[in-house]
């Protein structure tokens, strides 16, 4: 369930504007208008407001404003930005992996190529989690059990079939040499409910985001079997990657920013410079730590290459699974 | 445990903490009265404030105060203007609003306050004594049982199927279930029934539908039928009257007692929560209400008001069990609270009680204090709040319309929602003229997605519908649902027969 409200946005905008009427003119960008394709309180909202907070408080950007435009699974905001490109030169739209998935499934007609790709800023790897008393000790135990009877291995997640949690599971089994179509994926409407059903024994493996998995593992109820990171990450030194366990696949759920189509190369560079500077600031570190985000910086053309690659991997898999 | 309790008491009873509770309760109550802002949004608004306090115990106490205040404030708009802003208070309006219409707004608000207090307090005591033990209860239910529980919740509809309206009530329930399928669902990759309209992609909003079904037709009826809002000076006095008679207190006491425990247990289940608890409480009490001298349920019964109010507050407290003992958020609100806890470097879970007893216990103690403070703060305010209804019609109607429209817009920041509201509102008004009950539609709409998702998950897990007989608890719950629907009908039939026999002899 998503609840939205505008009071918070007014307060935050006001405080962001009031607090930093600095006289210095050394801003990388004068003002940024953040377009948020979902309601207040969600992941996109937090990313945009957190980034805006760090940029203004550290004096990189003079002022930031925010606009929530929900509807159409994010499609409404994308359409708006494309149609009104000329009057939105100062706008940055936040988005994440679903823009790739949803344009593949034609939830909206546009895709990321219709926008100016600025940078991927943060991300979260995926993870497979089991109950602390589970007989599975490694990812290959799960694969073995899958080999004997795929129907016995119920994998749950907090996204729809064909959504991220499902695709990651299918991807991992495909990389382990199994048939991804046979993966028995059980969808829950929220991560918390999927977690409860893991503990109650309804599902045997949970596919979820790594930062969420770390919080759960810290509570002592579950074990992380594998992560989709390229190498072990400092926050969870004991969590083995899939690659270490002989399953050669990686996945990152990124969040990043897009500008209106056709903005000047110079303007795009300004945004990239501003974001680049942001990582060094204590203000960003405070925001990042508060939200438990992982810095995965992917600016400019690298971002384009990354997105095209992700689109190909996900597209191939979805075609195989019959979602396209 | 006693030692922890003392740590908690000494933390929660300091002047600073008491101020936090009082401040939180006040903020929560006033913002919670606005139909568009439920506990979840208000807590989300308050989180930056709470985090800036720094001390996790103080932050949590503030948020707990806001939470309770918001729940209480939410029932106020249900009772006074028939505008339930959150799903958990829909059942409150079933009898609360008829009471307010009958000029007993003050009494209705008092009963709601007292019932909430009892539900919350009993919940806090149960949480204090049995939280670690109850952690396993939270994991007892699988999707199959949740499906059966939703069926039990749907049996609350039977309350609106009286007087030969069974077909009408069922038709409205089906319509509600159908409306719930619009948009993207949790279990399907494709949006359904959106006809290519982007604005229907996320489905019909709960607040939009609730306002369209309840608040908007009510405001229109006030315009169409002037006699509905005429109030004599006598009634104006009664509106402010808070007193509950001894007899009334006696009749709601068992209801409150039962629903405190039942509501708490439903709240402990991560997939159920306050909404199911309130519908279930309403359905159960309606069936236990055999005393024909009492006012009928749905027509301003004090039992019908006390049951859902007690149950939803007890359930809110119950939802802290999985959060504090397992680290699992059972509802949207507790999910946001979990986020705040993690930001404050507190990891909820089985070790919380051992590692950070001061936090664990002060949260629980502050729940108790929060409930008490709420009652003390609100009882003197009720006459003033209730007085809203004595405002002349010419001012009251625009006021209701304003809050209805604002509530719908504020949730989504999307003007199309307003058009959906008006279309649905006009439809609802026509339904009311034709004598179709609107509550079953809303119940169907709320329970529909949970019913469907849990059913399809179970079918997927069991490769068929064998879970209906293979899992004894599922079968048991379904049998209870059947009983809840059939009992009143049988009772009615038996009475008719008895009458016929006595008339013959």
Candidates A3, A105, A161; nearest CB to B38: A3
pLDDT of B83 reads 86
User: Tokens for B375?
Assistant: 């009652």
Does the distance separating the beta carbons of A107 and B191 come in below 8 Å? yes
Distance to chain B for A270, nearest Cα, Å? 30
- By Cβ distance, the residue of B139, B330, B342 closest to A200 is B139
Q: Is residue B54 part of a domain?
A: yes
Tokens encoding B425:
């509102």
Of the candidates A227, A251, A275, which is a domain's last residue?
A251
Is residue B475, in this structure, part of any structural domain at all? Answer: no
Helix B274-288 vs helix B143-154: angle between axes, to the nearest 10 degrees?
Answer: 50
Q: Which of B142, B336, B412 sits opposite A202 (nearest CB)?
A: B142
Instruction: Write out chain B residues lying below 8 Å of A4, CB-based.
Output: 41, 410-413
Q: Which A-chain residues 229-288 have CB contacts (< 8 A) with chain B?
A: none
Structural domains in chain B (count): 1
* pLDDT less than 70: residues of chain B: 1, 36, 161-164, 226-240, 290-293, 411-412, 505
Which sign, positive or negative, has the C-alpha torsion B158, B159, B165, B168?
A: negative
- From A3, A69, A70, residue closest to B332, measured CB to CB: A3
Euclidean distance between CA atoms B50 and B52, whole angstroms: 5
In three-state secondary structure terms, A193 is helix
Residue A145, in any domain of the structure: yes
**Which residues in chain B touch residue A323, judged by CB atoms under 8 angstroms apart?**
189
A79: chain B residues, CB-CB within 8 Å: 198
A272 shares a domain with A234: no
Whether residues A219 and B44 touch (CB distance < 8 A) is answered with no
User: What is the nearest CA distance from A286 to chain B, expressed in angstroms?
Assistant: 11
Q: Is residue A54 part of a domain?
A: yes
Examine the pLDDT at A214 and tell me if it is beyond 60: yes
Report chain B residues whose CB lies below 8 A from the CB of A76.
Answer: 198-199
Residue B48 lies in a domain: yes
DSSP 3-state helix, strand, coil percentages of chain B (rounded to 5)?
80, 0, 20
Q: Are B38 and B395 in contact (CB under 8 A)?
A: no
Chain A residue closest to B52 (CA)? A290
Looking at the predicted structure, is the pLDDT value of residue A255 above 50? Answer: yes
- Looking up residue A180, the CATH number of its domain turns out to be 3.40.190.10
Residue A324 within a domain:
no
CA B419 to chain A, closest CA, distance in angstroms equals 15
Displacement of CA A197 from its chain's centroid (Å): 24
CB contacts, 8 Å: B342 with chain A: 215, 292
Which residues in chain B are contacts of A41 at CB distance < 8 A?
Answer: 41, 44, 336
Between chains, do A186 and B457 touch, taking CB under 8 Å as contact? yes
- Residue B422 domain flag: yes
Residue B354 is assigned to a structural domain of this protein: yes
Q: How far apart (Å, rounded) are the C-alpha atoms in residues B91 and B443?
A: 9
User: Residues of A numbered 12-31 whose beta carbons fall under 8 angstroms of chain B's beta carbons: which are they?
Assistant: 12
Q: Contact at 8 Å (CB) between B390 and B70?
A: no
Q: How far is B195 from chain A (nearest CA, A)?
A: 12
Query: Cα separation of A123 and A254, whole Å?
Result: 4
A64 and A140 fall within a common domain: no
Residue B36 with chain A: CB contacts under 8 Å: 5
Closest alpha carbon within chain B to A200: B139
A246 located within any domain: yes
A87/A144 same-domain check: no
Residue contact A70–B412, C-beta within 8 A: yes
Q: Does A133 touch chain B (CB under 8 A)?
A: no
On whether any CB of chain B is under 8 Å from the CB of A132, the answer is: no
A163 touching B (Cβ < 8 Å)? yes
Residue B228 has what pLDDT? 58
What is the per-residue pLDDT for B1? 62
Residues found in chain B = 505
The pLDDT, as a whole number, for residue A11 is 47
A2: in domain: no
Domain extent for A41 = 7-123+253-319
Query: What are the chain B neighbours of A186 within 8 Å (beta carbons)?
Result: 457, 460-461
Mark yes or no for CB contact A71/B198 under 8 Å.
yes
Mutate to test the interface with B, among A77, A192, A218 (most CBs of B within 10 A): A192
Contacts of A188 in chain B (CB under 8 A): 186, 453, 457
Residue of B nearest to A197 (CA): B142
ipTM of the complex: 0.81
CB-based contact, A215 to chain B, within 8 Å: yes
* A61 touches A27 (CB < 8 A): yes
What is the pLDDT at residue A19?
A: 44
**Closest Cα of chain B to A160: distance in Å?**
5
Please state whether beta strands A205-209 and A116-131 pair in parallel, antiparallel, or not at all (unpaired).
antiparallel
Q: Tell me if A218 and B347 make a contact (CB, 8 A cut-off).
A: yes
- Give the count of Cβ contacts less than 8 A between chain A and B: 154
> What's the pLDDT score for residue B230?
53
pLDDT single digits (tens) B364-388: 887 888 888 888 888 888 888 888 7
pLDDT the model gives residue A67: 87
Burial class (CB in 10 A: 0-12, 13-18, 19+), B102: middle
Are A283 and A270 members of one domain?
Answer: yes
Please state, in angstroms and rounded to a whole number, the distance separating the CA atoms of residues B452 and B186.
Answer: 10
> Is A200 in contact with B411 (Cβ distance < 8 A)?
no
> Which residues does chain B have within 8 Å of residue A40's beta carbon, measured at their own beta carbons?
44
A52 vs A70: CA distance, rounded Å: 19
The domain boundary residue, chosen from A251, A269, A298 = A251
Only one residue has tokens 């985001």, namely A209
Return the beta strands (E) in B153-271 as ranges: none
Owning domain of residue B21: 2-142+208-427
- The whole-angstrom distance between A47's CA and the closest CA on chain B is 14
In a domain, B309, yes or no: yes
CA distance B376 to chain A (A): 28
- Whichever domain contains A86, its CATH number is 3.40.190.150
* Count of domains forming chain A: 2
Cβ–Cβ gap B270/A196 under 8 Å = yes
Tell me what pLDDT residue A18 has: 45
- For residues A114 and A259, state if they share a domain: yes
**How many separate helices (H) and strands (E) can be counted in chain B?**
23, 0
Q: Report residue B503 CA to chain centroid gap.
A: 44
Residue A115 sits in the same domain as residue A134: no
| Measured distance CA(B412)–CA(B44) in Å, rounded | 15
Only one residue has tokens 């009530």, namely: B169
Distances in whole angstroms, Cα of residue B468 to Cα of each of A235, A260, B276, B478: 44, 53, 21, 9
- How many residues are recorded in chain A? 324
* Confidence check: pLDDT of A190 > 90: no
Cα–Cα distance, B422 to B469 (Å, whole number): 45
| Residue B316 located in a structural domain | yes
Q: How many C-beta atoms surround the C-beta of residue A294 within 10 A?
A: 17
- Same domain? A33 vs A54: yes
- Alpha-carbon span A242 to B314, nearest angstrom: 44
Bridge-based pairing of strands A91-96 and A184-187 is unpaired
* Of A29 and B343, more confident: A29
pLDDT-wise least confident of A187-196, A285-294, B233-242, B314-323: B233-242
Question: Is A95 found in the same domain as A66?
Answer: yes
- Interface check for A150 against chain B (CB to CB < 8 A): the answer is no
C-alpha to C-alpha distances, B293 to B16, B298, B499, nearest whole angstrom: 50, 15, 17
Among candidates A160, A215, A220 on the partner chain, residue whose Cβ is nearest the Cβ of B186: A160
Instruction: Decide if B184 is inside a domain.
Output: no
Question: Which among A298, A292, A287, A290 has a CA at the least distance from the CA of A48?
Answer: A287
User: How near does any CA of chain A get to the CA of B267, in Å?
Assistant: 14
């Amino acid at each position: 369930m998503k609840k939205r409200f505008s009071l918070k946005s007014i307060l935050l905008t006001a405080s962001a504007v009031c607090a930093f009427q600095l006289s210095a003119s050394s801003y990388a960008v004068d003002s940024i208008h953040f377009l948020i394709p979902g309601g207040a309180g969600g992941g996109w909202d937090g990313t945009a407001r957190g980034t805006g907070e760090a940029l203004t408080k550290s004096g990189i950007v003079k002022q930031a404003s925010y606009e929530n435009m929900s509807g159409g699974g994010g499609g409404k905001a994308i359409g708006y930005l494309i149609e009104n490109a000329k009057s939105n030169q100062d706008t940055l739209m936040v988005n994440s992996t679903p823009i790739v998935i949803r344009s593949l499934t034609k939830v909206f007609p546009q895709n990321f190529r219709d926008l100016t790709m600025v940078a991927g800023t943060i991300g979260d790897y995926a993870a497979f989690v089991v109950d602390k008393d589970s007989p599975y000790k490694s990812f290959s135990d799960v694969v073995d059990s899958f080999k004997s009877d795929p129907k016995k291995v119920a994998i749950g997640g907090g996204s729809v079939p064909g959504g991220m949690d499902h695709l990651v599971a299918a991807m991992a089994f495909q990389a382990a040499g199994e048939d991804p179509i046979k993966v028995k994926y059980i969808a829950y409407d929220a991560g918390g409910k999927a977690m409860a059903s893991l503990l109650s024994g309804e599902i045997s493996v949970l596919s979820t985001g790594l930062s969420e998995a770390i919080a759960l593992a810290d509570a002592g109820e579950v074990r992380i079997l594998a992560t989709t990171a390229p190498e072990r990450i400092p926050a969870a030194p004991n969590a083995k990657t899939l690659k270490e366990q002989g399953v050669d696949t990686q996945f990152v759920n990124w969040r990043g920013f897009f500008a209106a189509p056709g903005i000047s190369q110079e303007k795009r560079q300004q945004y990239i410079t501003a974001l680049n500077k942001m990582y060094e600031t204590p203000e960003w570190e405070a925001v990042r730590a508060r939200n438990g985000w992982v810095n995965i910086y992917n600016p400019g053309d690298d971002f384009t290459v990354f997105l095209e690659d992700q689109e190909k991997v996900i597209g191939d898999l979805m075609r195989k699974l019959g979602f396209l | 445990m006693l030692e922890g309790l003392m740590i908690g008491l000494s933390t929660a009873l300091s002047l600073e903490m008491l101020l936090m509770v009082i401040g939180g309760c006040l903020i929560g109550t006033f913002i919670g009265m606005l139909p568009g802002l439920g506990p979840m949004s208000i807590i989300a608004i308050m989180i930056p404030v709470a985090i800036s306090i720094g001390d996790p115990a103080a932050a949590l106490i503030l948020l707990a105060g806001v939470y309770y205040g918001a729940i209480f404030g939410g029932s106020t708009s249900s009772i006074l203007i028939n505008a339930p802003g959150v799903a958990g208070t829909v059942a409150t309006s079933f009898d609360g609003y008829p009471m307010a219409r009958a000029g007993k707004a003050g009494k209705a608000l008092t009963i709601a306050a007292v019932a909430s207090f009892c539900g919350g307090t009993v919940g806090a005591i149960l949480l204090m004594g049995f939280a670690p033990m109850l952690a396993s209860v939270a994991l007892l239910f699988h999707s199959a049982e949740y499906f059966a529980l939703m069926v039990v919740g749907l049996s609350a509809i039977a309350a609106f199927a009286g007087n030969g309206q069974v077909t009408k009530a069922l038709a409205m329930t089906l319509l509600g279930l159908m409306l719930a399928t619009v948009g993207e669902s949790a279990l399907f990759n494709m949006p359904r029934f959106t006809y290519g309209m982007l604005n229907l992609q996320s489905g019909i909003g709960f607040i939009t539908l609730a306002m369209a079904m309840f608040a908007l037709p009510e405001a229109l009826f006030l315009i169409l039928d002037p006699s509905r809002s005429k109030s004599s000076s006598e009634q104006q006095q009664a509106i402010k009257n808070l007193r509950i008679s001894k007899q009334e207190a006696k009749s709601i006491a068992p209801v409150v007692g039962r629903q405190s425990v039942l509501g708490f247990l439903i709240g402990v289940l991560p997939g159920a929560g306050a909404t199911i608890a309130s519908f279930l409480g309403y359905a159960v009490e309606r069936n236990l209400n055999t005393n024909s001298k009492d006012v009928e349920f749905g027509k301003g019964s004090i039992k019908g008001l006390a049951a859902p109010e007690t149950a939803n507050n007890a359930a809110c407290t119950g939802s802290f069990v999985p959060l504090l003992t397992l680290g699992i958020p059972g509802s949207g609100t507790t999910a946001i609270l979990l986020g705040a806890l993690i930001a404050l470097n507190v990891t909820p879970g089985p070790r919380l009680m051992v590692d950070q007893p001061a936090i664990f216990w002060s949260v629980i103690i502050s729940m108790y204090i929060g409930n008490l403070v709420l009652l003390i703060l609100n009882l003197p305010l009720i006459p003033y709040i209730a007085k809203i209804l004595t405002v002349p019609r010419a001012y009251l109607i625009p006021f209701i319309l304003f809050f209805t429209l604002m509530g719908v817009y504020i949730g989504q920041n999307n003007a199309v929602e307003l058009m959906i509201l008006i279309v649905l509102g006009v439809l609802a008004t026509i339904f009311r003229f034709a004598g179709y009950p609107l509550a079953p539609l809303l119940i169907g709409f709320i329970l529909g997605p949970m019913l469907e998702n849990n059913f399809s998950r179970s079918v997927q897990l069991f490769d068929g519908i064998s879970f209906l007989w293979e899992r004894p608890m599922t079968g048991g719950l379904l049998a209870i649902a059947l009983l809840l629907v059939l009992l009143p009908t049988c009772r009615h039939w038996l009475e008719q027969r008895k009458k016929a026999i006595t008339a013959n002899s």
